[in-house]
Amino acid sequence: MKYCKYHPTDAATWYCTHCDSRVCDTCTQESERGEDRYCCKCGATLESLGSAYTAEPFWERLSETFRYPLTVPVMTLIVVLSAISGVLFFVPIVGAVAGLISAGILTKYSFQCLEETAAGNMSPPDLSEAFSGGIVIIFKMIGLIILITAGGIGSYHYLGAGITGLLGALVVLSIPAFLINFALTDRVLVSFAPQNILRIVSAVGLPYGILIGLLLLMSSSVGLLSYMVFSGFEWASMILQSVISNFYMVVIFHLLGYVVFQYQEKLGFYARAQTGDAPVYRSEVERSRAKISVLIKEGDYEGVNRLYKKTLDRNGLDLSFNDEYFEFLTATGNKEDLPDFADDYMAYKLHKGHQAQLKRIYNQTRSVVPDFKPTSHEVRFTLAQDYASFGDYPAVIRLVNGMHQDCSDNQLLIKAYSLMHEALQALEKEEMALRCKKLLKRLEAQAV
């Protein structure tokens, strides 16, 4: 199991050959339509690790596995093929041909399910390709059975019953691995070669035993279920048994395909899960957030600052992104960029009706730039009102003082200097309060 470099509890899904690092989906950059993924640190194109580290173990998703064939097209195919082979079973020659064709169609479709699932498609494939090539597969399987039977007879004759029984058990245990190999190579003898069987078994490991148990359980339950439902009705029981066995066949091949998907790294390839849902594309802001998170963890604060500026140039109205940039500037003590940004940021906050946050923003900014004073007169007055309500009169004076020099809004100036006059009186600065009173009278005269 490999984990994301920046999220140690999340499985890795991409690999950067340049940085020699593995990351999760979040810690990547993608093109606007999401076709390619790039490293947040160096910008190189990433190699997909598929779902090698994110695939849920097959034994934990059995409910999804048994629901896999439960779609109208697949169940229709299963029922129709079962009915045809069941109805024509007792008709000489025709029944055998119908059974062979039905078996060929379902076998071809089952192998298609295995291949699609192994590639990450967790939905049943289209039925269109199920009606060609199935008979060839059936004859290949029959040929293999003949070879195995001939080998068993030879083994019994030369090696005895004990060795033959052991070899027979090994053949049965090899069936899942053989089916997987055959789906991947389409070559019977190569698929049954011992080294290729061992390759699958060693890749799966101990869970291969769970897989064998599930397959044996499903196989043995077919006749029992049919007997329990239609005991005494041979024809109906035969059709039901065919439906159940065909249903289980699709389930088994889907399960085998998922085993390949789960152990893809050990088998030498990578595939990503395809759920059929429309892909979700991240916005520029979301992509920038992902890259910023990586750059912060890499300690590249200059790169973070540049990326914030670049993104805000095109997404300046994104309030939460503005919030994040302000927190970054104050946390890093950026005295160069903070004053100008805080000035615009506070004006935007006031415009959005977030005046309750102004005092906190102002205090945070002054902790980095002590002589900071907003240029917006509305912001300064709003802050002065807030400080006055808490009895912080020096802050009121600091914010209002000098506003008349560059503010043309007389009504705002009158309210601001009235507040300052009250603050000076509260601090018992009579001389300054008197001068402030004179300024107020002049402003009021100009307003008339």
Is position 184 within any domain?
Answer: yes
- Write down the pLDDT at residue 235: 60
Domain final residue, candidates 214, 241, 262 = 262
- Write down the pLDDT at residue 421: 93
Question: Within a 13 Å sphere around the CA of 73, how many CA atoms are in the beta-carbon half?
Answer: 8
Q: What share of the chain is helix, strand, coil (3-state, %, to 5)?
A: 70, 5, 30
| Confidence (pTM) | 0.63
Phi, psi at 47, each rounded to 5°: -95, 135
* Alpha-carbon span 302 to 328, nearest angstrom: 11
Residue 278, judged by CB atoms within 10 A of its CB (0-12, 13-18, 19+), counts as exposed
Is position 276 within any domain?
Answer: no
Residue 19, judged by CB atoms within 10 A of its CB (0-12, 13-18, 19+), counts as middle
Phi, psi at 11, each rounded to 5°: -70, 145
Classify residue 356 by its DSSP letter: G
- Write down the pLDDT at residue 280: 66
Classify residue 258 by its DSSP letter: H
255 and 384 share a domain? no
Q: How far is CA 368 from CA 347, 359, 417, in A?
A: 19, 15, 28
Domain final residue, candidates 228, 245, 262 = 262
- Write down the pLDDT at residue 228: 55
235 and 89 share a domain? yes
Is position 312 within any domain?
Answer: no
Q: Which amino acid is at 32?
A: E
- Find where tokens 């590639």 sit: 119
- Write down the pLDDT at residue 308: 96
Q: Which amino acid is at 21?
A: S
- Write down the pLDDT at residue 242: 82
- Write down the pLDDT at residue 386: 94
Domain final residue, candidates 262, 291, 316 = 262
- Write down the pLDDT at residue 95: 65
- Write down the pLDDT at residue 151: 74
User: Number of structural domains, the chain?
Assistant: 2
Phi, psi at 445, each rounded to 5°: -70, -40
Is position 351 within any domain?
Answer: no
* Per-residue model confidence as pLDDT tens for the chain (448 residues): 688 999 988 888 889 999 999 999 899 998 766 668 899 999 999 988 877 777 888 888 999 999 999 999 999 999 988 888 776 666 667 667 777 788 888 888 988 899 889 888 889 998 887 777 666 776 676 676 677 677 777 776 777 788 878 877 888 888 888 888 887 777 878 888 889 889 889 988 888 888 888 888 887 776 565 555 555 556 666 777 788 888 988 999 999 999 988 888 777 766 666 655 445 678 889 999 999 999 999 999 999 999 999 999 999 999 999 999 999 999 999 999 999 999 999 999 999 999 999 999 999 999 999 999 999 999 999 999 999 999 999 999 999 999 988 888 889 999 999 999 999 999 999 999 999 999 999 988 887 6
196 and 69 share a domain? yes
- Write down the pLDDT at residue 42: 92
- The three-state secondary structure class of 70 is coil
Going by DSSP bridges, is the β-strand pair 14-16/21-23 parallel, antiparallel, or unpaired? antiparallel
Supply the range of the domain harboring residue 447: 377-448
- Write down the pLDDT at residue 101: 81
Is position 52 within any domain?
Answer: no
- Write down the pLDDT at residue 237: 67
Is position 113 within any domain?
Answer: yes
Is position 272 within any domain?
Answer: no
Is position 116 within any domain?
Answer: yes
